[in-house]
Structure 1
Amino acid sequence: MSDSSTTAPAGAAPLRELAEAYGVASEYWSFFGERVVVPDETLRAVLGALGVPATTPDLVRVHLAHRHDDPWRRMLPASVVARQGRTTPFPVHVDHGEPVEVWLELEDGGRLDPAQVDHVVEPRTVDGRLVGEATFEVPADAPLGWHVLHASSGTRTAHATLVVTPDRLELPDLGPDGRAWGLMAQLYSVRSSQSWGVGDLADLADLAWLAARREGADFVLVNPLHAAEPSAPLTPSPYLPTTRRFVHPLYVRVEDVRETAYLSAADRSLVEWSFDTVRDLDEDPGPIDRDTAWSAKRSALEVVFAQPRSAARDAVFAQFRAEQGKGLEDFALWCALVDHFGGAEWPEEAQDPASPLVAELRRELADQVDFWCWLQWVADEQLAHAQEQATSGGMRIGVVHDLAVGVHPHGADRWAQRGALASGVGVGAPPDMYNQQGQNWSQPPWNPLELERLGYAPYRDMLRGVLRHAGGLRVDHILGLFRMWWVPDGMTPDQGTYVRFDHEALVGILCLEAQRAGALVVGEDLGTVEPWIRDYLADRGVLGTSVLWFEKADDGAPRAPEDYRAATLASVTTHDLPPTAGYLAGEHVELRDRLGLLTEPVEEVRRDARREREAMVRALKARGLVGDDPSERELVEALHRYVAQSPAALVGVSLADATGERRAQNQPGTDQEYPNWKVPLGDASGRPVLLDDLFDSARLQSLLQVVDEAVHPED
């Protein structure tokens, strides 16, 4: 396993050498097979975003020297990530010839003494001091967890984070077949007659229990439930949150908050009046109105928050706040500040969480901070209940949450984690056949240098937040744990470049936190992926992703199901495509044509879509899955049986496919042109389908029975 792009090209100029030394690609191979040399302007901008100014030749030389010498200035590395069962060497730097003591303070309070390794390294003069390097090893039997390395030499001491991660994340027990299937749902779209215009956590609990008990599903995969803005307008995309650590209170069911039961008649009327304003939204076929729903729900929740809690409930709330610590308090303060300043521009001092002004506002807005902390507590309780309902209904996995790639450039995480997130750049994707100009998702990436310096604590805390009540986690664009496409502000997406991350650390910590949560991990690894990356993820126990329409053999024909990877979540479709009925009808072509997104003549694209459909139908016929003139419903069921005949560990069924829905949830490349992330769950005619009636649908029952029989043929 190797990444051949980690070193500068032979004879590289100092700027390019500096870029490669910091993990910034000075050249790369494009999707189209061309070698691309990254412009100097891009390299300088990306290095600047990493905190390495390189605007002059002198600065380049200085930082290049610093990059070579900085490890020797530190007694211990910034952090060490090891795998359990393997010895992991790490350097210790002290004055040449001086003795050093190194020990490991374990998470549980115990101690281990790493052994020194006989490994001779020539001393180096750094800042006028002759520095020697000793090599020690983290023992193979070091326990999993977050520990602290200590070193002492003379009057100098140092400490660093040590993370011991599992060598492999094992799947939970999936029964005698070793396989499972489940539903994939956009939760906001799954509404019941008791929703407030948007599907919520009570709907999730009911959906999971019914899917398990009535149909035999083992999981339900939902869209990211990360928090959005605290007040309207709310960003519709669940993939552009203000934070990935905390939950969107829009998903709270007001009536399920315990204190609602003890409201006075007058306060209960206030809650009921709030619900009356949005009651009809549950059956509205138009775009989901998050702003109206949240305005009504927030008013009701403020009434419930004012209701006194019992002593025990108060103690549980206090414990939750203590456990979540500064991260929760800062997020709640940010929400309160958004309300406080309204739409006005924040004072410069308010942009710094450590400023005196922010400290003063933290005291002044204490009641509002309490409210936003309380919202996270009640959301956490309802998330826990949803997972309990899923497993009590019979699911082996339960709720699988989704982790977005990044956060809003002006959101809570950007405010609270200024150092951990890079400034002046957004992440995206280079040009490919689908987006020939590339993409800029505007999200600030982790700064890998700062993340390592912080011992990966922000990354760990984020993972713990989303894994708290999860049976599994889908990681969107998991390739971002290896490298990300950074686009400097003011440049077009095709002017970006790749920045490499320490994937051994990021994937290892992901596996550690998932194992501790009892959750499996699915990585969305679609697109052009180097084979070694998929092999690496599979070796670590991280499942990949297979989507039928993207699975092609070498000759371009549909890949036979038996040739799919086993360590994957396989499905017919994804949220970035129309549901299968719409895809078969060419809705993806017609929609892009209407929106002016096609880069080729529409007739050519239609012809290609027809050929793709015809090739897929031929493959189904060859396996005896359809006859000569299959109906739309027969095709949809046959496609799902085709995927379910693969060896994939998990098989996902889009809930929209089970209802006959044709409309896409998201059309990549659009913003206001299409109601992205606002389409309610509907039938083939676009009429809303409520959760109350969902499992009485003959179409749903038939499709899920097909999948269940294919995944568990012996049952």
Structure 2
Amino acid sequence: MEQLHALAHACGLSRDWTDVEGRQQRVADDALVALIAALGHEAGSEARIARSLAAVAERRMGLPAMLVADAGASIPLPIAANRAEITGEDGITRPLAVTGNQLQVTAPPGYYDLILDGHALKLAVAPPACPLPAQDQRRPWGVSLQIPSLRGEQPTPFGTFADLAEAARALGAAGGDALAINPVHALFPGHGENFSPYSPSSRLFLNGAMGDPALAGLPPLPPAGDARDLIDWPAAMPRCLAELRTVFAALDPARRAAIAAEGDAMLHRHALFDALDCHFRPQGAHGWQGWPAAFHDPNGAAARRFAAEHPEEIAFHLFVQWLARQGLEAAQTAARKAGMGIGLIADLAVGVDPAGSDAWSLRHAMLDGLTIGAPPDPLGPLGQNWSITGFSPDGLRDTGYAPWIAMIRAGLSVGGGLRIDHAFGLARLWVIPEGGATSDGAYLSFPFEDLVRLTALEAHRANALVIAEDLGTAPFGFTQAVTDRRMLGMRVLWFERAEDHGFVGAQDYEPLSTAMSGTHDTVTVAGWWRGRDLDWAEELGRLPENIGRSEAEAIREWDRGLLWSTLNHHAPRPAADDPDPVVDAAIAHIARTPSCLALVSLEDMLGLDEQPNLPGTVDVHPNWRRRIATSAARMLEDTHVQRRCAILRQARKGLEPPE
């Protein structure tokens, strides 16, 4: 089986890997065969393995569609060359020094057309690092929030970009610099069953349900009539789509035509996907895989004929995207006008629904027959299958990274920053064969250095910061590489524990990081202090093995002492049913860190017990459904919120927080 293992290595699959407890693990040979087949290579016999190895080697020997380099660096070429010249986006052509198979990249950051001994390809030149938020007057701070949880003055079924704009005005006036938002990627139109923002249809386009016609100067949507504490997505999403159709129908023909004329070919293809989804979903199809086979090809005759026969439907979905873009831009404008130095920080999901728009439109660049997840570990013996897919390493190389660049650019297009969820995916992802167990998966490597350089280049062009979500065990070399590029790691209160299990002091947080009170996946400070997470664990049978509720309570009581001894050395420890002083102290702790940016969740600003999402659950916990009790504007009238904003303002200036 030596040749099989060589082929797996050539395809970027790791046969051996280390689990979270440092134990060496090995992928079975039959699992390797299935994974290699899903990557498009035959491995069913020695002869087929030999042919596949030869094909992979030949593919890697040729010139790629794009070379990615650092400004001022010398990079190796797969061929020897005598002459090289580049043409930049400014139209100016200049020579580059080339000696044998070494190219000297003496060009400023940007994208170039490269001619290498008559061969045409692309060249991307990266800057040394990503921009950082200004630290001159004070270290910036902000709030992380889930847009659908917000409320406006009028009742709505869920929060929209209008409510985000209102939150930006309120928190900007209170001294905040940033709003870190949930992913706003496109979901399936009008479909309220798959509403997780981390399982989108497309990462190139926006969730049209977040749009608000009033932000684009159009008549507002009618009031919802009720404002529930939990979002009823199955009812709300179809209703929202129907209301947007009414707004679209009232547009004059000239405006419709102008909106439909905007955007590139990919936007029009996404509008076609949404139109087809709306057409076939009532027949029981979930995404393109359930459509008739003739529609599986976006360039096929059936898809083209549908577009020609339904121009108004295509125009409607283009309008929805335009409306969402207008709304997100309005929210960023509101943030900057309110004095926010950064404004919106977008969130990039790690993958997409295999039945969605990206998987249909970009099949040549996507993993096919593989889903993404996490390997088995002591906390999850069965591992995790997130039921999403993403780009394939070969697909990225073959397309000159074009769809990946477009995705990063879309995330940075409106706002001052981008958080990359599960940023370890820049280096490797755990991939699982379709229909296989999670344990049948393996790590698939990605062109890490190229992706990091391209991220830095796009951040440079957008003058935006990048947060690389790095919670967990990092792949070898990951931390140093992203640190060198000045991507901010995440330092979350709950995970900053010392070897003696105590909490790390504020002064010991890394400066090149984002200090956070929590994430959408973690318990809130008040919830942790009260033991609300233990309530859920007991109810759902998720307490650690051989640990009962009373033992869990005893451990939490000990941990309360550890946390309070870090947060406050002077005052008596509050009782378990008195979390407000703890929330204040935790926010002061995060604010006092030397981290480039401090983020406090909106739930912690309000002192709430419940968290937005409980990982590993679907229906037994109201994930992504909770609403904030008051409007964004009125939140700042709460004395608790006012006090916590004051703590952040003063501590980020280096002053002691108020008593």
Q: TM-score, normalised by structure 2?
A: 0.94
Evaluate the alpha carbon distance shift between residue 609 and residue 432 of structure 1 in structure 2; reply closer, same or farther with a 3 A threshold: farther
2:548 matched residue in structure 1? 602
Q: Give the deviation of 1:423 after TM superposition.
A: 1.1
- The correspondence for 2:225, drawn from 279, 286, 296, is 279
Gaps spanning 5+ residues in structure 1: where? 1-11, 94-98, 118-133, 261-270, 682-687
Question: Secondary structure, in 3 states, of the residue corresponding to 2:123?
Answer: strand
Which of the residues 231, 242, 263 maps onto 1:288? 231
1:586-617 Cα deviation digits (max 9, x unpaired): 22222022112334133344433333222112
- 3-state SS, counterpart of residue 47 of structure 1: helix
Contact 1:174-1:396 at 8 Å conserved across structures? no
Question: Within 5 Å, which residues of 2 pair with 1:311-350?
Answer: 317=259, 320-321=262-263, 325-344=264-283, 345-350=290-295
- Alignment deviations for residues 521-569 of structure 1 (CA, whole Å, 9 cap, x no partner): 1111001125732221111011000111101112222112211111111
User: Pick from 353, 374, 377: which aligns with 1:432?
Assistant: 377
Shift of 1:65: 2.4
| Deviation for aligned residue 1:582 | 0.7
Is the contact between residue 433 and residue 441 of structure 2 (CA under 8 Å) also seen in structure 1? yes
Structure 2 CA distance, aligned partners of 1:353 and 1:175?
A: 50
Alignment counterpart, residue 172 of structure 2, candidates 205, 208, 212:
212
SS at match of 1:386: helix
**Could you say which residue in structure 2 is the equivalent of 1:161?**
122
Q: Match for 2:101: what amino acid?
A: T
Q: 1:81 to 1:172 in 2, by over 3 A?
A: same
- 1:615 is aligned to 562
Letter in 2 for 1:572: S
Counterparts of 1:109-508 in structure 2 under 5 Å? 109-117=91-99, 134-139=100-105, 141-152=106-117, 157-177=118-138, 179-194=139-154, 196-213=156-173, 215-260=174-219, 275-276=222-223, 278-281=224-227, 284-285=228-229, 287-309=230-252, 317=259, 320-321=262-263, 325-344=264-283, 345-508=290-453
Report the alpha carbon displacement of residue 628 of structure 1 after superposing the two structures with TM: 4.0
Paired residue type of 1:68: A
CA contact (8 A) 1:387 1:469 kept: yes
- Greater Rg by CA: 1
Q: Which residue number corresponds to residue 466 of structure 2?
A: 521
1:282-316 CA distance string (max 9 Å, x none): xx22x2023333333322322221234486x5686
Distance, in Å, in 2 between the alignment partners of 1:234 and 1:258 is 31
1:657 equivalenced with 2:618 (yes/no): no
Q: Closer, same or farther in 2 for the Cα pair 1:540/1:83, shift >3 Å?
A: same
Deviations 1:38-66 (A, max 9, x none): 11122122222221221222111122223
Deviates more, 1:77-86 or 1:359-368: 77-86
What's the offset of the Cα at 1:449? 0.6
* Shift of residue 104, structure 1, vs aligned partner: 2.1
Cα deviation for residue 619 of structure 1 reads 2.2
Count of residue correspondences: 646
Structure 1 contact 31–431 (Cα < 8 Å) conserved: no
| 8 Å Cα contact 2:82-2:98 kept in structure 1 | no
Distance 1:247 1:195 in 2: 23
Question: What does residue 706 of structure 1 align with?
Answer: 647
Q: Which residue of 2 aligns with 1:108?
A: 90
Who is 2:72 aligned against?
Answer: 85
Q: Which amino acid aligns with 2:55?
A: H
Which of residues 582, 600, 612 is equivalent to 1:635? 582
Give the letter aligned to residue 241 of structure 1: P
Secondary structure, counterpart of 1:55 in structure 2: coil
Instruction: Report how far residue 571 of structure 1 moved.
Output: 1.2
- Alignment CA distance shift 1:175-1:291 (3 Å): farther
Distance 1:316-1:336 versus aligned 2 partners, 3 A rule: closer
Residues 374, 439 of structure 1: alpha-carbon distance in 2 compared, 3 angstrom cutoff:
same
Please tell me whether the aligned partners of residues 92 and 136 of structure 1 are also in contact (alpha carbons under 8 angstroms): no
CA contact (8 A) 2:603 2:611 kept: no
Q: Which moved more, 1:300-309 or 1:543-552?
A: 300-309
Change (3 A) 1:257 1:296: farther
Q: Quick check: 608-617 or 541-550, which moved more?
A: 608-617
Question: Which whole-Å CA distance do the structure 1 matches of 2:13 and 2:317 have between them?
Answer: 39
- Alpha-carbon distance in structure 2 between the residues aligned to 1:490 and 1:599: 29
Q: Give the deviation of 1:195 after TM superposition.
A: 5.2
The letter of the residue matching 1:615 is L
Secondary structure in structure 2 of the residue aligned to 1:427: strand
Residue of structure 2 equivalent to 1:65 = 54
C-alpha deviations, 1:267-292, integer Å up to 9, x for none?
Answer: xxxx76xx24x2312xx22x202333
Paired letter, 1:248? N
Closer, same or farther in 2 for the Cα pair 1:445/1:45, shift >3 Å?
farther
**Letter of the aligned partner of 2:60 in structure 1?**
P
Distance in 2 between residues matched to 1:259 and 1:357, nearest whole Å? 35
Q: What CA distance in whole angstroms lies between the structure 2 residues aligned with 1:59 and 1:531?
A: 32
Q: Percent identity?
A: 32
Q: CA separation in 2, counterparts of 1:592 and 1:487?
A: 28
Determine the C-alpha separation between the residues in 2 that align with 1:611 and 1:408.
42
225-234 vs 415-424, greater mean Cα deviation: 225-234
Unaligned 5+ runs, structure 2: 284-289
CA distance in 2, matches of 1:348, 1:191: 43
Assess if the C-alpha contact under 8 Å between 2:204 and 2:407 holds in 1: yes
Q: 2 CA distance for matches of 1:191 and 1:434?
A: 36
The amino acid of 1:300's aligned partner reads E
Q: Is the 8 A contact 2:427 2:475 kept in 1?
A: no
Cα distance in 1 between the residues matched to 2:399 and 2:324 = 29
Q: Which amino acid aligns with 1:618?
A: S
> Does structure 2 conserve the Cα–Cα contact (< 8 Å) formed by 1:227 and 1:241?
yes
| Residue among 519, 541, 549 paired with 1:574 | 519
Given that 1:90 and 1:135 are in contact with CA atoms closer than 8 Å, whether structure 2 keeps it comes out as: yes
Calculate the aligned-residue CA RMSD, in Å.
Answer: 2.0
**1:180 Cα offset (Å):** 0.8
Q: Is the 8 A contact 1:422 1:445 kept in 2?
A: yes
Partner Cα separation in structure 1 for residue 540 and residue 124 of structure 2: 49
2:286 aligns with none
Q: Which residue identity is paired with 2:278?
A: D
Q: Per-residue displacement from partner, 1:463-515 (whole Å, max 9, x unpaired)?
A: 12221111111111001001111111222223311111111111111111122
Task: Please list, as runs of the form range in 1=range in 2, the aligned pairs for 1:51-62 lying within 5 A after superposition.
Answer: 51-62=40-51
CA contact (8 A) 1:82 1:138 kept: no
- Indicate the residue corresponding to 1:18 in structure 2: 7
Residues 157-201 of structure 1: CA deviation (Å, up to 9, x unaligned): 532221111111121323323x21101111100111235211111
Contact 2:345 2:415 in 1 (8 A): yes
Secondary structure of the structure 2 residue equivalent to 1:244: strand
Rounded to whole Å, the distance in 1 between the matches of 2:609 and 2:490 is 23
Q: How far apart are the structure 2 equivalents of 1:346 and 1:628? A: 60
- CA distance change for structure 1 residues 606 and 424 in 2, over 3 Å: closer, same or farther? farther
Q: 2: CA distance between counterparts of 1:225 and 1:696?
A: 28
Query: Residues of 2 paired with 1:470 and 1:44: CA distance?
Result: 44
CA contact (8 A) 1:259 1:307 kept: no
Give the counterpart of 1:512 among 449, 453, 457: 457
Q: What secondary structure is seen at the aligned counterpart in 2 of 1:245?
A: strand
Q: For residues 495 and 460 of structure 1, do their structure 2 counterparts lie closer, same or farther at Cα, with a shift above 3 Å needed?
A: same
